[in-house]
C-alpha cells in the first residue's frame, strides 16, 4: 500500500513538473502573428512592434503575416483552423470578432466557438479625416453637402463590418443622407485613397492618420471622443458638433484558436502585458493616440461581450442586413 501511494505521489509530481516545464518552455519555435488587414495600417504597425519585443523576451522569432481580404475573414479563418498550441495568433481589430457576425449570413468561423481572447493591446479614439478638396469643414456642413448631392461624397473604410463602416452607416440612417461606402483591405489603402482624393472621408485612429494629416492633403473634421485632442485643440468633438451618437472606439487584440492550453494563453498574456507596460512602448503608443489597457483574457472577453451587444444595436439602428 505504501509503495502504491509512493508511486502515485511520484507520478503526480512528475506530471506537475512536466506541466511546469511545458509552460516555462513556451515557445520552442517561431510564433506567427496573422494580421487580417493590409500592411501599413495601425494593426500591422502595432503587431510588428509587439513581435519585435516578444522575440527578445522569448528568444524565438515572432513573424507577422498579413492575410487580408473578405472583411478580414480569410486571415481570421486561418487562425481559427490552426493548431491550438499558441504558435499561430490573430492580431486584429473589432471587425472579424464583433461586427462580422451581424453582417454575414454565414461565416467560415465562429468567433465565440473557434477563438479565445488572449490580450487586449490598445483602445483607440478616432478622427474623421477628409480630403482637403471637400467643401465641408464640419459634421454639420458634411450633412448639408450630402443632402444637397446624395451619393456624391464617398468614405473609405478598412473593410465591411469595421467600426468605421458601422458608424458611417448609422450616420447615414440617422441624418437621412447618402455617403457612399468604399471598403478597402486595410487602413493603409483607405488612408492612401483619401490622400489621393479617390475617396473623400475616412475614420481612423488619430495616430494612424497623423502622416496623412501632416501631408497637407487632408483635414480633420471631427474628433470621435468625449474630449478634445490636445494635439488638435481646435477640432470639435462629436457632442460639441451636435451629433453625440457619432462616436465609436476601436481596439486591437490578440486571439488564439479555441483549445489552446490555458497556461500557454496565460503566459502569452503575461509577456504581452510586460511589453505593453514598458515606458518607451507606452510613450510610442500614446503618440499614436492609443490607450493601453492591462486586462486579463477573462476581462478582455467581458469587454468583447459588452461590445457584441452594443454593436448589434448599432447594426439594427443603421438598418444593415447580413449579406
Q: Which pLDDT tens digit goes with each residue over 195-217?
A: 999 999 999 988 788 889 999 99
Task: Annotate 261-278 with three-state secondary structure.
Answer: CHHHHHHHHHHHHHHHCC
106-112 contact pairs (CB < 8 A, 24+): 107/73, 108/73, 108/77, 108/80, 109/73, 109/76, 109/77, 109/80, 109/81, 110/80, 111/76
Query: Which pLDDT score is estimated for 19?
Result: 46
Query: Which pLDDT score is estimated for 7?
Result: 46
Measured between alpha carbons, how far is residue 141 from residues 30, 137, 223 in Å? 51, 6, 15
Separation of alpha carbons 26 and 314, rounded Å: 40
Question: Does the fold of domain 126-241 match that of domain 29-124+250-318?
Answer: yes
Query: Which pLDDT score is estimated for 51?
Result: 99
Would you mind telling me the total number of residues written for the chain in this entry?
323
Cβ atoms within 10 A of the Cβ of 127, count? 27
Query: Which pLDDT score is estimated for 229?
Result: 83
Separation of alpha carbons 59 and 56, rounded Å: 5
Query: Where are the chain's structural domains?
Result: 29-124+250-318, 126-241
Whether CATH 3.40.190.10 fits 126-241 = yes
Cβ atoms of 155 and 168 within 8 Å: the answer is: yes
The C-alpha torsion from 321 through 225 and 208 to 124, rounded to 10°, is -80
**Quick one: CA dihedral 207, 213, 218, 224, positive or negative?**
positive
Cβ atoms within 10 A of the Cβ of 268, count? 23
Q: What is the pTM of this model?
A: 0.77
Query: Which pLDDT score is estimated for 289?
Result: 80
DSSP 125: -
Separation of alpha carbons 80 and 100, rounded Å: 14
Burial (CB count within 10 angstroms: exposed 0-12, middle 13-18, buried 19+), residue 24: exposed
β-pairing verdict for 88-92 and 250-257? antiparallel
Cβ atoms of 127 and 224 within 8 Å: the answer is: yes
Burial (CB count within 10 angstroms: exposed 0-12, middle 13-18, buried 19+), residue 227: exposed
What's the CATH architecture for 29-124+250-318?
3-Layer(aba) Sandwich (3.40)
Q: Which pLDDT tens digit goes with each residue over 203-253?
A: 998 878 888 999 999 999 999 887 888 888 999 999 999 999 998 878 999
Grid cell 470621435 in the structure block, residue? 224
Digit-by-digit pLDDT tens for the chain (323 residues) are: 545 544 444 444 444 444 444 445 899 999 999 999 989 888 999 999 999 999 999 999 999 999 999 999 999 999 999 999 999 999 999 999 999 999 999 999 999 999 999 999 998 888 999 999 999 999 999 999 999 999 999 999 988 778 888 899 999 999 999 999 999 988 889 999 999 999 999 999 887 888 899 999 999 999 988 788 888 899 999 999 999 999 887 899 999 999 999 999 999 999 999 999 999 999 988 888 888 999 999 999 999 999 999 899 888 877 788 98
| Cell of residue 160, nine digits | 465591411
Query: Which pLDDT score is estimated for 247?
Result: 87
Amino acid at each position: 500500500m505504501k509503495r502504491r501511494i509512493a508511486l502515485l505521489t511520484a507520478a503526480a509530481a512528475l506530471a506537475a513538473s512536466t506541466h511546469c516545464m511545458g509552460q516555462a518552455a513556451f515557445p520552442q519555435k517561431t510564433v506567427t502573428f496573422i494580421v487580417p488587414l493590409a500592411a501599413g495600417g495601425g494593426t500591422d504597425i502595432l503587431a510588428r512592434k509587439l513581435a519585435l519585443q516578444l522575440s527578445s523576451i522569448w528568444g524565438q522569432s515572432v513573424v507577422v503575416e498579413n492575410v487580408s481580404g473578405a472583411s478580414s475573414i480569410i486571415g481570421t479563418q486561418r487562425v481559427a483552423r490552426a493548431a491550438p498550441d499558441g504558435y499561430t495568433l490573430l492580431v486584429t481589430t473589432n471587425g472579424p470578432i464583433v461586427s462580422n457576425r451581424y453582417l454575414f449570413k454565414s461565416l467560415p468561423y465562429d468567433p465565440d466557438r473557434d477563438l479565445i481572447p488572449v490580450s487586449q493591446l490598445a483602445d483607440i479614439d478616432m478622427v474623421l479625416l477628409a480630403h482637403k478638396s471637400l467643401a465641408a469643414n464640419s459634421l454639420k456642413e458634411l450633412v448639408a453637402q450630402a443632402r444637397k448631392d446624395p451619393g456624391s461624397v464617398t468614405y473609405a473604410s478598412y473593410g465591411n463590418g469595421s467600426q468605421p463602416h458601422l458608424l458611417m452607416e448609422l450616420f447615414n440612417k440617422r441624418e437621412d443622407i447618402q455617403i457612399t461606402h468604399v471598403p478597402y483591405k486595410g487602413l493603409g489603402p483607405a488612408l492612401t485613397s483619401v490622400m489621393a482624393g479617390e475617396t473623400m472621408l475616412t475614420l481612423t485612429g488619430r495616430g494612424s492618420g497623423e502622416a496623412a494629416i501632416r501631408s497637407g492633403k487632408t483635414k480633420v473634421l471631427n474628433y470621435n471622443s468625449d474630449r478634445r485632442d490636445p494635439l488638435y485643440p481646435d477640432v470639435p468633438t462629436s457632442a460639441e458638433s451636435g451629433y453625440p451618437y457619432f462616436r465609436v472606439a476601436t481596439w486591437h487584440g490578440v486571439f488564439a484558436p479555441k483549445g489552446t492550453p490555458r497556461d500557454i494563453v496565460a503566459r502569452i498574456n503575461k509577456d504581452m502585458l510586460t511589453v505593453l507596460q514598458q515606458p518607451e512602448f507606452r510613450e510610442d503608443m500614446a503618440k499614436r493616440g492609443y490607450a493601453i489597457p492591462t486586462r486579463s483574457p477573462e476581462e478582455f472577453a467581458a469587454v468583447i461581450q459588452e461590445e457584441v451587444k452594443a454593436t448589434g444595436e448599432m447594426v439594427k439602428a443603421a438598418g444593415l442586413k447580413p449579406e
